[in-house]
Amino acid sequence: MLRFIAKRLLLALPTLWAVLTLVFLLVRVVPGDPTIIVLGDQASPAAREQLRQRLGLDKPLLVQYGEFMVQIAQGDLGRSLVTNRPISADVAAVLPYTIELTLAALFIGSLIGVPLGVVAAQRRDGFVDWLARIVSLAGLSFPAFVSGILLLIAFAVELRWFPVISTVNTSDPLERLRALALPAINLGLIMVAYVTRVTRSGMLKALSEDYVRTARAKGLPSRLVVWRHALRNVLIPVVTVIGLYLGVLIGNAVLTEIVFNRPGLGKLIVSALNQRDYALLQGLMVVTALAIVFANILTDLTYGLVDPRVKTA
């Protein structure tokens, strides 16, 4: 298995290189540069030029690109152009928040989505099915920043179950969990919709397969048939969808992070883009791309777990 992971990582190297090159070029096409943030909007053109020189932004693009690639190859993400802090430190500071939020959202999404999908498939076209479909779609219809505020109004301000700002006391694990709840639900709602749909359609398919009919004919209890035999076959597309939407999740996390005042990878990326912090943006994209590669590897490993027929080699 370790060999499998190593091989996949090695195969991901060209992808990483392409991602970096793309990011490097794209951000430099956007007008503006970091000097407006570093020096403020009233600095003299001469001071700006001087800073550009110091940051190395006046060098030919190819030279900048070469230096950047050499640096990355050495495993050094470099320093932020705006804060002059090591990028690895900034990433390390936000990564735990991103990981806990993403995992919690995936967990909530699956916890609600899978049972909802199964029940909907069983009671096809019945009231439960319709309700499940509409509820899951609602999660997709309200942009995360609107649903986030609605959640805050209900559960943080009216009921006072959760805090509005979710980073006040991060050393107490219980408090941290309390602060994580609403953001995770908000992000998880998106996941619910996808998972419910895939589960429902997969389940419908599975329920009509021969082996399920056979199992039923043999007199196995319906609950056992559905939850053990049929569901197993649904899990693979579900896992696929979860893996595929990890990118969506990291991106959409930005909105949740802004509304709930949480640090996170998504928010840092948007901020780096807004501040034209090229170095930070490039560094963050390396991390994000790696995270997605890892997620894909994990997805493939999970296939083997849920369905022994799939080999991970």
Partner 1 sequence: MKPYLLAATAAFALASLGAQAQTTLNVGMSAADVNQLDPHRATTTQDKPLTAWVFNGLVRFKPGSASLEGLEPDLAERWESSPDKTTWTFHLRKGVKFHGDYGELTADDVVFSLKRAGDQKSSSFYADYAPIESIEAVDPYTVRIKLKQAVPAFLGLVTNYHGGFVVSRKAIEKLGENFRLNPIGTGPFKFDAYKPNESVTFTAHKEYFRGAPKIDRIVYRLIPADSARDLAFSSGELDVVYGRQDQKWVERLKKEKGVEVTVLRPAELGLLHLNTKMKPLDDKRVRQAVAHAINQKQIVSFKGDLTADPPVSVVPTGYLGTAETPMLPHDVNKAKALLKEAGFTGPLAVKSVQSTLPSMLNTAQILQSQLKQAGIDLQLEVVDHQTFHANIRKDLSGATYYTAARFPVADVYLTQFFHSRSIVGTPTAVTNFSHCAVADKEIEAARTEPDLAKQKELWATAQKKIIEEVCAVPLFEQLQVWAYKTNVDFGYKLTDAIHLGPVITEATTKK
Partner 2 sequence: MSAAAAVAAPPVAIAAPSAWKRATRSGGLAIGLVLVVAMALIALLAPWISPYDPDAQDVIMKLEPPSAEHWFGTDAFGRDVLSRVIWGSRVSLFVGTVATLAGVLIGTIIGIISGYYGGIVDKLITAATDVLLSFPQLIMGLILVAVLGPTLFNLILAITITAVPAFIRVARGSTLAMKERDFIDACRALGFGDLRIMFLHVMPNIMDEVVVMGSLWLAAAIRTESTLAFIGLGVPPPTATWGGIIREGFDNLLDAPWLSVFPSLAILAVMIALNLVGDGLRDATDPRTPQ
Query: Applying CB under 8 A, which residues contact partner 2?
Result: 12, 14-16, 18-19, 22-23, 26-27, 29-30, 124-125, 133-134, 137-138, 140-146, 149, 153, 193-194, 197, 201-202, 204-205, 207-208, 233, 236-237, 240, 244, 247-252, 254-255, 258, 266, 269-270, 273-274, 285, 288-289, 292-293, 300, 303, 307, 309-310
Judged by beta carbon, residue 133 or residue 178, the one nearer partner 1 is: 178
CB 246 within 8 Å of CB 102: yes
Q: Could you tell me the two tokens for 227?
A: 């939850």
The residue behind tokens 């009671």 is 123
User: 197, 200, 229, 267: which one contacts partner 1 (CB under 8 A)?
Assistant: 267
User: 27, 36, 69, 72: which one contacts partner 1 (CB under 8 A)?
Assistant: 36
Asked if 312 interacts with partner 1 (CB under 8 A), we say no
Asked if 276 interacts with partner 1 (CB under 8 A), we say yes
State in angstroms the smallest separation of the CB of 247 from partner 2: 5
Query: Quick one: DSSP state of residue 220?
Result: -
| Beta carbons within 10 angstroms of residue 279's beta carbon | 22
Whole-angstrom Cα distance, residue 10 to residue 16?
10
Asked if 129 interacts with partner 1 (CB under 8 A), we say no
Could you say which residues in the range 85-114 bind partner 1, by CB under 8 A? 90, 93
The full length of the chain comes to 313
Asked if 44 interacts with partner 1 (CB under 8 A), we say yes
Q: Could you tell me the two tokens for 117?
A: 């999908």
Residues facing residue 183 across a β-bridge: none
Residues facing residue 86 across a β-bridge: 79
State in angstroms the smallest separation of the CB of 313 from partner 1: 43
CB 202 within 8 Å of CB 233: yes
Query: How many amino acids of this chain bind partner 1 (CB under 8 A)?
Result: 45
Out of partner 1, partner 2, none, which partner does residue 168 contact, by CB within 5 to 8 A per kind? partner 1
Find, among 295, 118, 116, 285, the residue nearest to 189 by Cα: 116
State in angstroms the smallest separation of the CB of 54 from partner 1: 8
Asked if 29 interacts with partner 1 (CB under 8 A), we say no
| Beta carbons within 10 angstroms of residue 157's beta carbon | 11
Query: Quick one: DSSP state of residue 312?
Result: -
CB 124 within 8 Å of CB 204: yes
CB 5 within 8 Å of CB 263: no
State in angstroms the smallest separation of the CB of 40 from partner 1: 4
Residues that bind partner 1 (CB under 8 A): 30-33, 36-47, 50, 83-84, 90, 93, 145, 148-149, 152-153, 156-157, 160, 163-165, 167-168, 258-261, 263, 267-268, 271, 274-276
